[in-house]
Amino acid sequence: MPITSKTVEPGIVAVTVDYPPVNALPSRAWFELGEVITAAGNDMSTHAVILRAEGRGFNAGVDIKEMQNTEGFTALIDANRGCFAAFKAVYECAVPVIAAVNGFCVGGGIGLVGNADVIVASDDAKFGLPEVERGALGAATHLSRLVPQHMMRRLFYTAATVNAAILHQYGSVHEVVPRAELDEAALRVARDIASKDTRVIRAAKEALNLIDVQKVNSSYRMEQGFTFELNLSGVADEHRDEFAGTEKGAKK
């Protein structure tokens, strides 16, 4: 199955995303991911959740082809609501979520890791938001949790990426390791958290969210409003059509 949940050690659940070829998720998958993460956290036997992915990269965002192959705005609305649900599930998961990032982490991937509690990454991991090149906005809320304000703005305006080593310097990525060691690095953090009294850790997660200076759910929802405006004006379709055409050409 593309999204799986498995207890890998006592108290530690690994939620794995596997949507070949690049882990660009259709709208239904974003909802499913949120449901799986929430269910894992609600199980009192779970002390920590690891969010990981198989394949070439951690996450390539939403499935652009789904939007372009669907009449009207249904796919867009579902994708936006699905992303909101998945990001919210990571943030509000009852236990800490450790994101294990391999390869590329772009678009919706930033929303997931920006809301995670701890991030570990492989040394080939790259992070960024290509949204402006797709005629959309969103997840600046989450990127601003990873880098300082002015770097966030430059990355957002230019659709540039930064590597894991840069984020490690800022302290947003806990550890950078070779890809072959990524799962073990995530487990080290999860084991440390899982060794604590889960009643205290669960209270700590809730408390930290309540004192968070940035209200990430409402902040991201505000960003989505501008994405809807760009879609209604036709701007977003122009960029998505261009992207879909470029992708088709690259495959020939």
Write out pLDDT tens, residues 206-221.
999 999 999 999 999 9
User: pLDDT per residue over 29-41, tens digit each?
Assistant: 999 999 999 999 9
pLDDT range class, residue 150, cuts 50, 70, 90: very high
pLDDT range class, residue 251, cuts 50, 70, 90: very low
Whether the per-residue pLDDT at 121 is higher than 50: the answer is yes
Strands 97-101 and 118-122: parallel
Closest CA to 106 of 57, 167, 51: 57
User: pLDDT per residue over 59-90, tens digit each?
Assistant: 999 988 887 777 778 888 999 999 999 999 99
Whether the per-residue pLDDT at 247 is higher than 70: the answer is no
Per-residue confidence (pLDDT) for residue 12, from 0 to 100: 98
Whether the per-residue pLDDT at 249 is higher than 90: the answer is no
- Buried b / exposed e over 28-63, threshold 16 CB at 10 Å, is ebbbbbbebbbebbeeeebbbbbbbbebebbbbbbb
Average pLDDT over residues 189-203: 98
Whether the per-residue pLDDT at 137 is higher than 80: the answer is yes
Per-residue confidence (pLDDT) for residue 252, from 0 to 100: 38
- Element holding 195 (H helix, E strand): none
pLDDT range class, residue 129, cuts 50, 70, 90: very high
Average pLDDT over residues 89-95: 98
Domains of the chain: 3-180+198-251 (3.90.226.10)
Q: 133 and 139 in contact (C-beta within 8 Å)?
A: no
Q: What is the mean pLDDT of the chain?
A: 93
Closest CA to 159 of 124, 127, 128: 128
- Element holding 58 (H helix, E strand): none
Whether the per-residue pLDDT at 1 is higher than 60: the answer is yes
Per-residue confidence (pLDDT) for residue 157, from 0 to 100: 97
Of 51-65, 88-102, 231-245, the range with the highest mean pLDDT is: 88-102
Whether the per-residue pLDDT at 200 is higher than 90: the answer is yes
